[in-house]
Amino acid sequence: MFWVKKIISQLFMPVPLLLLLIVLAYLVMRNRRSSKALLVLAATLLIILSSGWGSNWLLAPLEDQYSVNSQPIGKGCLVMVLGSGHDENANLPAVQQLSNTALARLTEGVRQLSLGQDCKLVVSGWSGGLSTRSHADVMFDAAVELGVASQSIIKFPLAKDTIEEAQFMKWEVGDAPFRLVTSASHMPRAMAIFTDAQLNVSAAPTDFAQRETYWWRFDAQSLLNSQRAIHEYMGLLWFKLKHEKEDTRS
């Protein structure tokens, strides 16, 4: 189901979806009306998704749900940082192997540690099937490079997605309170999953992607931000359907 979910969700991402519409327009070229409609739809989606106002419109309902958390944490706190990919390169320090998203999450996690005393950092993520090292291992090394003591870091190197990260956290800490650090757009889904797992979690969002830009500017960054939002809406829908199915069974 993990790979089925990944493959299906890819079909709704901006670039694959636009390419699919163009291919369909070519296949039905004999029917000019249908072909023209598909091309107009593809062009309209490209304009909306690659614009700053379009990507901000998609991101706002996600990112505006939780604000930056700068509240002090008590002694012996826990901070969990969700993983988000890396490119393995032995010639680079770990912080430079992390994706931009992963680095933003980790630096916020380190900032959260500074708000408490004797805190432990939890990092997670598997290898993704493309790396010889788990993402948790790279995050561990990067955290040490950023000044976190190695004995204060807990790793979940087998967690493949947010649901599994919540399961591992449940096994590790039970009902102990902790701060959850992830991208602002991902936070609503992450909080829904961790709350459903009956974890005592509070949100510490980072990596906010909304940005001010000219209405007439269209670029790849906006397209990427739109993809991020669509990915989260798909994930929220999948989690809701999965949850409803489990409730029906019970």
Give yes or no: residues 36 and 83 share one domain.
Answer: no
Give yes or no: residues 225 and 154 share one domain.
Answer: no
- With cut-offs at 50, 70 and 90, classify the pLDDT of residue 248: low
Residue 114: which residues within 8 A CB-CB, separation 6 or more?
none
- The pTM score is 0.92
Give yes or no: residues 52 and 109 share one domain.
Answer: no
Q: Output the pLDDT for position 205.
A: 98
Note the helical H segments in the chain.
Answer: 2-10, 14-27, 32-49, 52-63, 94-97, 100-113, 135-145, 162-173, 187-196, 220-249
Q: Output the pLDDT for position 5.
A: 72
Q: For residue 213, is it within any domain?
A: no
Q: Output the pLDDT for position 1.
A: 63
Question: Among 33-37, 183-187, 188-192, 246-250, which is the least confidently predicted range?
Answer: 246-250
- Over range 33-44, report the average pLDDT: 97
Whether the per-residue pLDDT at 244 is higher than 80: the answer is no
- With cut-offs at 50, 70 and 90, classify the pLDDT of residue 3: low
Give yes or no: residues 201 and 84 share one domain.
Answer: yes
pLDDT digits (tens, 9 = 90+) for 193-221: 999 999 999 999 999 999 998 889 999 99
Average pLDDT, the chain: 93
Give yes or no: residues 165 and 49 share one domain.
Answer: no
Whether the per-residue pLDDT at 52 is higher than 70: the answer is yes
Give the CATH number, domain containing residue 154: 3.40.50.620
Structure tokens at 206: 């980072």
79 secondary structure, DSSP code: E
Q: Output the pLDDT for position 247.
A: 64
Give yes or no: residues 97 and 27 share one domain.
Answer: no
Give yes or no: residues 113 and 196 share one domain.
Answer: yes
Give yes or no: residues 194 and 84 share one domain.
Answer: yes
Q: For residue 215, is it within any domain?
A: no
Is the Cβ–Cβ distance between 44 and 36 less than 8 Å?
Answer: no
- Over range 90-117, report the average pLDDT: 96
Whether the per-residue pLDDT at 118 is higher than 80: the answer is yes
Please give the tally of structural domains in the chain: 2
Whether the per-residue pLDDT at 250 is higher than 70: the answer is no
Give yes or no: residues 88 and 178 share one domain.
Answer: yes
Give yes or no: residues 83 and 202 share one domain.
Answer: yes
Distances (CA, A) of 9 to 44, 67, 227, 237: 21, 28, 11, 11
Residue 210: which residues within 8 A CB-CB, separation 6 or more?
55, 56, 59, 60, 63, 225
Q: For residue 70, is it within any domain?
A: no
Task: Pick the closest to residue 204 from 90, 80, 95 (CA basis).
Answer: 80
pLDDT digits (tens, 9 = 90+) for 147-163: 999 999 999 999 999 99
- Over range 92-109, report the average pLDDT: 97
Q: Output the pLDDT for position 34.
A: 96
Give yes or no: residues 85 and 199 share one domain.
Answer: yes
pLDDT digits (tens, 9 = 90+) for 222-232: 999 999 999 99
**Which domain, by its residues, includes 56?**
2-63+220-249
Give yes or no: residues 58 and 160 share one domain.
Answer: no
- With cut-offs at 50, 70 and 90, classify the pLDDT of residue 142: very high
